[in-house]
Structure 1
Amino acid sequence: MLNFRVDAMTEQLRTAGIEVTADPQTYPNGRSARLYDPKATRSSFGSRTPPNSASGQ
């Protein structure tokens, strides 16, 4: 999995006409999204939550 800003990358891909499914929930380790190419190969990308942001520090 590649580490991207999920919201920004999802918007860029959708603007290019690519269907992307972003997980609406943010987990302790970050967010993720997935897409499929025309041959149905799945790709995933995500963004990690910085270590201190989950604890509020």
Structure 2
Amino acid sequence: MDITGARWGLAGAEAVLGLRAVITNGDFEEYWEYHVQREHPRVHAVRYRDGLALAA
């Protein structure tokens, strides 16, 4: 994480280290499936919770 010009806050550094650990342990595929399942509702479902349909 020691690269020229990098500025790390605690939250960002912990996120990068956690992701590196997942990759090193060989668990990235399982992690990514979980991440996508959790992020999709958080990001998209809230926008359309009132039953609004997408316009083409």
TM-score, normalised on structure 1?
A: 0.23
- Considering fraction of residues, name the structure with more helix: 2
Which is strand-richer, 1 or 2? 1
Q: Which has the larger radius of gyration?
A: 2
The answer to which structure, 1 or 2, has the higher relative contact order (CA under 8 A, 6+ apart) is 1
